[in-house]
Amino acid sequence: MTDRSDRSIRNQWGRISAHLLGGVPLILLGWQLVQGRLGFNPVESVLRWTGRLALGLLLLSLSVTPIRKIFKISAISAMRKPLGLYAALYAFLHFSVFALWDYQLNIRQIYLEISNKPFILLGMIALLILLVLAATSFRFWQRKLGRKWVWLHRSVYAAALLVILHYLLAVKGDLFSLQGAYAPPLIAAGILVLLLILRIPAIQQCLRPTFTQQEPDQPASD
Ligand code: HEM
């Protein structure tokens, strides 16, 4: 098999895996909703799950490049864009549940809710960034914007940071005495810090030999 068709099959597997990761939870959530299995407050359940899935997929899409570089698994490159697009889709669904389902687009009520819970504003800014990144994720914009595209798409880290703050502030409890369900947003914050550290070229170079060492009689993977 030629190198090219080999690479295109690996890319296809990468894309299929990303669609499974992004699509299956949506189908399961829809199914649970239709079956009435989301408890006595389905709006809150859907709001929570779409938010968590959006954040999870966002962090997964950010993990693709470090994993590819450190473990030299080029096949997963194809996962980054669909995972990012799914994250934006879930974030948009999350917003729609809030604005359309919970508040029936009652602008006055939404404004009052934002005044009481400023963490919603952080989510709105993050959503705006994710939607701009999703809209410009196509090759046309990549070619049109050139170097600026790379800088624009780095703002995904700012979006992830805003989402984690949004999550931390949405938790009911006290962060300083850790009373409340703070573990998930703190784990997400730890993952984001790790991903930022793994972007440092010197760290990548240090880790590469450790993880890409071949078994004596195995062929090189990439
Ligand atoms: C217009 C934008 C947004 C609005 C209006 C919004 C609204 C909300 C609200 C009202 C909650 C509290 C839910 C509760 O108390 O149970 C919440 C929680 C959350 N949101 Fe958002 N959000 C927005 C953007 C985002 C984005 C962009 C993400 C992720 C990419 C996100 C992820 C989350 C997460 C993870 C939670 C916590 C869920 C949990 O309790 O487990 N939000 N959001």
Q: What is the mean pLDDT of the chain?
A: 91
What is the structure's pLDDT at 127? Answer: 98
Please determine, for residue 222, whether its predicted confidence score (pLDDT) is greater than 90. Answer: no
Cβ atoms within 10 A of the Cβ of 194, count?
12
% the chain with pLDDT above 90: 74
Question: 68 alpha carbon to ligand 1 midpoint, in Å?
Answer: 30
What is the structure's pLDDT at 212? Answer: 61
Using an 8 Å Cβ cutoff, are 168 and 51 in contact?
no
What is the structure's pLDDT at 74? Answer: 82
Question: By CB neighbour count within 10 A (0-12 exposed, 13-18 middle, 19+ buried), where does 89 fall?
Answer: buried
Residue scoring higher pLDDT (7 or 105): 105
Enumerate long-range contacts of 97-105, CB under 8 Å, 24 or more apart.
Answer: 97/43, 97/46, 97/47, 97/50, 98/47, 101/43, 101/46, 102/43, 102/47
> Which atom of ligand 1 is found nearest the CA of 117?
10
Residue nearest to atom 17 of ligand 1 (CA): 170
Task: Report pLDDT digits (tens) over 132-169.
Answer: 999 999 999 999 999 999 999 999 999 999 999 999 99
Question: 163 alpha carbon to ligand 1 midpoint, in Å?
Answer: 8
Reported confidence tier of residue 185, pLDDT bands at 50, 70, 90? very high
Instruction: Please report, for residues 159, 160, 163, 182, 212, the alpha-carbon distance to residue 171 in angstroms, rounded to integers and kept in the order given.
Output: 19, 17, 13, 7, 40
Q: Give the pLDDT mean for 78-92.
A: 97
Please determine, for residue 83, whether its predicted confidence score (pLDDT) is greater than 70. Answer: yes
Task: Report pLDDT digits (tens) over 8-44.
Answer: 887 888 899 999 999 999 999 999 999 999 999 999 9
Please determine, for residue 48, whether its predicted confidence score (pLDDT) is greater than 60. Answer: yes
| Alpha carbon distance 27, 25 (integer Å) | 5
Residue scoring higher pLDDT (70 or 129): 129
Residue nearest to atom 7 of ligand 1 (CA): 120
Q: Is the CB of 58 under 6 A from ligand 1?
A: yes
Q: Is the CB of 54 under 6 A from ligand 1?
A: yes
| Alpha carbon distance 180, 53 (integer Å) | 20
Please determine, for residue 174, whether its predicted confidence score (pLDDT) is greater than 90. Answer: no
The runs of H, that is alpha helices, within the chain are 3-34, 42-71, 80-96, 107-116, 119-135, 139-145, 147-154, 156-170, 183-198, 201-212
Task: Report pLDDT digits (tens) over 190-216.
Answer: 999 999 999 888 888 888 766 665 444
Lookup: tokens for 57: 């997929």
For residues 146-171, b (16+ Cβ closer than 10 Å) or e, as one string?
eeeeeebbeebeebbbbbbbbbbebb
